Chains A and B, each alone.
Chain A
Amino acid sequence: MADIIAVSDVTKEYGTAVKTKALRGVAFRVEGKEFLSIIGQSGSGKSTLLNLLGLLDRPTEGTVSLLGTDVGALSKKERAAFRNRYLGFVFQFHHLLPEFSVRENLLIPTWIGGSKNNARATTETHRRAEEILDFLGVGQVADKSAEQISGGQKQRVAIGRALMNSPDILLADEPTGNLDTENSALVYDLFRRIHNEMGTTFVIVTHDRAIAQQTDRIIEVRDGLISQDVRNDYLAVP
């Protein structure tokens, strides 16, 4: 079985005249459905790595394979379609579209995927949206505008949006960075439940070590290199 994620000797340079290396030969593999975090100081290269995993950017050198596909070989259009079909994103800022209701925000990834023109698919996606909203505990605000709900609810809706196309990999960039302690814990619990119940691979980028310590594997990035890649065994401790 192909690796879920395979990153081989990836470097990433920015700039033309003066070049800055954000990543300098990063390599790691995710073989099964894991719940891992990438930690590092600001400017360490962790967000750059997430952008490469999310197909939002291309590596200067090296290869990134997701679900057995060398994504570097894909065209821009194919990468967009891959992102929509197999990846889910949760950002630090919820990035919900204020023009739409909560339910519509959930449905956006399916519309992009083309379900809006298919009556049967539309019925199914609506049902799935209801299930996800209930699962996340925001079913009661489904018809409200995305601007009318609280910050914690917005982030849960953003998680729901990421789940709509049943992604194999969910990428989260500082997902609790904009939340209070209570909502941070709630988001983390949701991630863990989604991982356990749906089998989604999680890659959480964070600088919050408390959050990272609750994941099964921690990859630490420092100065564009992986300084640590450790299994977190404390959860297994009774």
Chain B
Amino acid sequence: MDFSKINIEEILFPEMTGWLLAAKIFFVLFNLGVIAFIVYVWSSTVYLRRLFLWDLVEFFTFRAYNVKLIEKDWNKIKKRLLTQNPAQMKLAMIEADLLVKDVLFRIGYPGKDLAEQNGLAPGDSVRLVLADGSTVETVVEGVFDLGAQAANERSVFSGLELASSALGRSTDRVSAVETQIADVFASPEVAASLRTAFPQLTVSEWQAKNSDLLTALQSQSTSSYMIQVFVIIAVMLGIASTLAISAVQKTRQIGILKALGMSDSKTGLVFLYQAGILGVIGTLLGIAVSLALIAVFSSVAKSGDSGLFPIEPRLGFVLLSAGIGIAIALISAIIPYRKTARLDPIQVIQGG
């Protein structure tokens, strides 16, 4: 017997071969498209791309990433020190400080704030050196976490008297007042009302000063929504195809059950239940895996004790996602539901 001539699908589903092949080709192309899209989005995300490149370079060169760059920077610093020029030496100190911070950050010891980097704790005495070379002695009262590494490294809060005396200004004058608002995206309206109330002041708000950042955030949100939509479509097609194949495979059983008196709606319910079970199990697994990935990502991408990109799963959002997941699974059952409803038991009985 020439087995190469036997097409197993033609034997199992003689009438389905044509559209099953078309469906397979469609799903393969669709999945390739989704994978290509995910790779594109991933590669356009700077942070992940950078980590990937680091790993790749270290793997092939057998040495820590950017050692050459550090050597170059270090040589530059040494050159500045050798000039014996105070300005160049100050610059060398700043660059050396940045270099050390950069290296520490890369190997996982970033130091989240000034206090940590300088080994300070509440109650310690500290001497601040100002730009003009003058110094101020004070005591650390507390350590703040502003939730941003750059701000934690560069910000010191003090009473107005200390700041004024250090800078040689009177206590009834301030150069700027910064304020925090509950709804960060309401800043244009708040700024407008402040301008009306205090016309003599220059009022600026963060959105106007960071339009590039806003555009980037909006692009990121759009990409995120697009990925979500594609994932939902992929999941829906995946479940629908699984159920459709299941419906084809169970044609004989469904036909027999119908011949024995099972109604169309009850046979369709079998697939609705199957879709519901798939949806619930898939959703629970999805939530568990997502929470685990968030935990892993938060532990990897962090600065000191706080995450660089803190993600806090909210119960409402998790429940909404679960609802969408189960609803998608149930919607996916419509095609097999209709297919089984139309199945004629006579075809099955006479088919043997």
**Residue ranges of A at the interface with B (Cβ–Cβ < 8 Å):** 47, 51, 54, 56-57, 76-77, 80-85, 87, 89, 91-93, 95, 97, 99, 108-109, 112-113, 161, 173
Contact = CB atoms under 8 A, between A and B. Distances in A.
B257 A112 contact: yes
A109 B263 contact: no
A56 B346 contact: yes
B295 to A, nearest CB: 41
Contacts of B264: 76-77, 80
B253 interface: yes
A80 B258 contact: yes
Contact of B261 (A51, A92, A95, A109): A109
B278 interface: no
Nearest to B349: A91
A95 B254 CA distance: 11
B261 A77 contact: no
A54 B348 CA distance: 14
A87 B259 CA distance: 10
Nearest to A162: B260
Interface of B: 252-253, 256-266, 344-346, 348-350, 352
A81 B350 CA distance: 22
B246 to A, nearest CB: 13
Given A92-B352, A97-B256, A112-B257, A51 B346 contact: yes
A85 B264 CA distance: 16
A109 B260 contact: yes
Given A95-B256, A97-B253, A97-B256, A112 B262 contact: yes
Given A83-B259, A83-B260, A95-B348, 20 more contacts: A76-B263, A77-B265, A80-B264, A81-B263, A84-B260, A84-B262, A91-B259, A91-B349, A92-B352, A93-B349, A95-B252, A99-B253, A108-B260, A109-B260, A109-B261, A112-B257, A112-B261, A112-B262, A161-B260, A173-B349
B261 A81 contact: yes
A42 to B, nearest CB: 12
Nearest to B259: A89
Contact of B259 (A56, A82, A85, A113): A56
A171 B324 CA distance: 48
